[in-house]
Structure 1
């Protein structure tokens, strides 16, 4: 019975990481509870939801997929020209 409680508590770790990247906490908590070893690596590797990046003034480079400033006109990693973001 104690191992069930431990698994439920361990499931919080990947759920919290995924929630910080804009994902659903409950779905990731279930995933982390039943498949913790896979869920923790998966939560670390997933990309943040684009809306979260825009909130922090960041976006993805369309060429190299690295995170750059929202107002950048040139990627600092691949040196490619990036189109400006449409203001709403």
Structure 2
């Protein structure tokens, strides 16, 4: 049970990084919780989705 709780918590890190780059938080949270060791470097190295970021900025204004 503790392993599941830890996986859920550490999955938040790649999800937050991916969200800041314009990706889906929920999908990356699942990805990060399932295989954190791969998801974290993937989130750090991927490029930003500029169209998604521009859409969020225009929607917020």
Shorter-chain TM-score bucket reads: 0.7 to 0.9
Q: 4+ residue runs of structure 1 moved beyond 3 angstroms?
A: none
Q: Distance in 1 between matches of 2:50 and 2:33?
A: 27
**Take 1:49 and 1:33, find their aligned partners in 2: how far apart are those partners?**
22
More strand by share: 1
Give the unaligned 5+ runs of structure 2. none
Match of 2:33 in 1: 33
- In structure 1, the partner of 2:8 is 8
Deviation for aligned residue 1:24: 0.2
Q: Distance in 2 between matches of 1:50 and 1:26?
A: 19
Count of residues in Structure 1 that have an aligned counterpart in Structure 2? 54
Query: Aligned-pair distance for 1:50?
Result: 1.5
Where does residue 24 of structure 2 map in the other structure? 24
Structure scoring higher RCO (CA < 8 A, sep ≥ 6) equals: 2
Written as runs of structure 1 = structure 2, the 5 A alignment for 1:1-88 is: 1-51=1-51, 52=53
Greater helix proportion: 2
Bigger mean CA deviation after superposition, 26-35 or 43-52 = 43-52
Cα RMSD of the aligned pairs, angstroms, is: 1.2
Encode CA deviations 1:63-83: one digit per residue, 9 max, x unaligned: xxxxxxxxxxxxxxxxxxxxx
The structure whose Rg is larger is 1
